[in-house]
Amino acid sequence: MIQIKKLLFVLLICTIAIVDAFAGGENRAGTAAAPELKIPVGSRYLGMGGSAVASATGLEAIYWNPAGVAVTNTSANAIFSYRKYIADMNMDYVAVSGSFEGFGTLALAFRSLNVGAIDVTTLAQPDGTGEQFTPSYFVIGVTYSRQLTDRISVGTTFNFINESWARVQANALSFDVGVQYRNLFDIDGLAVGVAVKNLGGSMKYEGSALWIQATAQGSQRPATFYQVGAASFELPSEISLGLAYSRHFDEDNSLSFAGTFVNNNFAYDEYRIGAEYNYQNMLYLRGGYMFSPNTADDNPNIFQDFSLGVGVNFKQFTDLDISLDYAYVPVKYFDANNAFTIRFGF
């Protein structure tokens, strides 16, 4: 246990150092690759304002903190989630996991951002050529998570990222790593969590659409094809530090609080707070708030607002551990987001 505590202390010091290195991310806003990596999935923790880095468990923890994936009461789990995002875009998410005694928990996840069809336009036909293309953005992740003790869990996720549209595409690999420590300072229900996400190489578009026909100035050669060299962009890495506290008042009622600070390498830093009320492990009411203190009216964080959520677990009525969750997320300038999730435990 002493060695584990030393490891956690070193991790915390390294995290503080990385946070300092990430300072000034707002100056790089909008310049990162793969922005779909920043779109949260799952309804439970969306309803809590995305604050549950220290307390996220199960398959939804793949996004928030992979250390929580191993914290589950069932040996196999599945999740399906749909989020109506901004500007008529949708985010789909599906994941499965299995726990193996003495080894840990393995999970496979797939998330896709659906943009819809876009009209093809040219300089000669700015109103459209009659053709359309459909961009594709998806992430496939493999997660390994393990409970080292009854208090400590760790996890990591390796992601394959693919973006393609109009005869160009870009690929990248990234990884997330996280740790959670429960019953901190021997206080029952107090937890701390750290997650470092979206670390990896840069992305660069390639494909036949980057070849153009042109005539070189000062050359005797006829028009020929030249390749346009696309720039490469870094992934939107971030670090999250969170605290959570859960209090059971009696056998039927409990209340959980969570708070998280998110240091973004390509956006404004964020503070998130949230709460969840649990009645008989059957009915859940959730609320949260996210704010970015350095944003301005001319450059806002469009998600800086409250969120609400509700969940129902049907375990008392069926042999399966089935839950339905919903989250409502207001958005500045766009219609509110609605997220729906169904979770299964076997």
- For the chain, the domains span 2-345
- The predicted-structure confidence for 251-268, as pLDDT tens digits, reads as follows 999 999 999 999 998 888
Average the pLDDT over each of 47-51, 319-323, 328-332 and give the range with the smallest value.
319-323
The pLDDT of residue 335 is above 60 = yes
The pLDDT of residue 313 is above 90 = yes
The pLDDT of residue 51 is above 60 = yes
Its CATH class, for the domain covering 2-345, is: mainly beta
- The predicted-structure confidence for 65-122, as pLDDT tens digits, reads as follows 999 999 999 999 999 999 999 999 999 999 999 999 999 999 999 999 999 999 998 8
- The predicted-structure confidence for 129-142, as pLDDT tens digits, reads as follows 999 999 999 999 99
Confidence at residue 301, expressed as pLDDT on a 0 to 100 scale = 87
The pLDDT of residue 18 is above 80 = no
Return the percentage of the chain with pLDDT > 70, whole number: 91
Q: How far apart are CA 109 and CA 79, in angstroms?
A: 9
Half-sphere exposure in the Cβ direction for 157 (13 Å, CA): 33
- The predicted-structure confidence for 72-88, as pLDDT tens digits, reads as follows 999 999 999 999 999 99
Confidence at residue 256, expressed as pLDDT on a 0 to 100 scale = 98
Q: Give residue 36's pLDDT band: very low, low, confident or very high (50, 70, 90).
A: very high
Q: Indicate the pTM of the whole model.
A: 0.90
Whether residue 180 contacts residue 196, with contact meaning beta carbons closer than 8 Å, is answered with no
